[in-house]
Amino acid sequence: MDQLTFQAYQSYLTLKYKEGRTSSGLFMKLVEEIGEVAEVLNQIEGRKSVSSDTSLERELVDVIHYALAIASINQIDLSIAILEKDKQAAVKYNQTPNLEEFLAQQNAPIK
């Protein structure tokens, strides 16, 4: 199976939602899916009885799908946005390495 990237998935979602979907409509779906994640977590942690065949994995995928769809139809490259936001957070909270540095270390040749 090919490696999935944010760019590829966002291109797919841009195509999928090129007509008929608005940011607010997709946001309402995102909120619905976040509620379903909460339901599953409540079931997993014993606060609610298990009542459906939903899984945390599937519900988290739905959350990611709608968040990426909103970014896609608004021409936001989340790969770039995530790196920039993480860089700012690393400075603000004095954390090292930042994500960009971490990725560079992961791709460094082994000596």
CATH code, 69: 1.10.287.1080
Taking the alpha carbons at both ends of the chain, their separation in whole angstroms is 29
Q: Kindly state whether residues 66 and 87 are assigned to the same domain.
A: no
**pLDDT per position as a tens digit, 86-109:** 999 999 999 999 999 999 999 877
**pLDDT, tens digit, for every residue of 17-45?**
988 889 999 999 999 999 999 999 999 99
Question: Look-up: residue for tokens 């760019």?
Answer: 7
**Residues 68, 86: one domain?**
no
Amino acid in position 4: L
Rounded Cα distance between 27 and 1, Å, is 30
Rounded CA Rg of the chain = 18
Tokens encoding 77: 């490259």
Its pTM stands at 0.87
Q: Which two tokens stand for residue 88?
A: 């700012």
Question: Residue 68's closest CA among 8, 9, 19?
Answer: 9
Confidence of residue 111 (pLDDT cuts 50, 70, 90): low
Residue 1 has pLDDT above 80, yes or no: no
15 and 58: one domain?
Answer: yes
Question: Can you give the pLDDT at residue 37?
Answer: 97
Total count of domains within the chain:
2
Range of the domain at 109: 78-111
The answer on 97 and 69 residing in a single domain is no
Tokens encoding 33: 């899916």
Do 11 and 53 fall within a single domain?
yes
Query: Both 13 and 66 in a single domain?
Result: yes
Would you place residue 72 in the very low, low, confident or very high pLDDT band (cuts 50, 70, 90)? very high
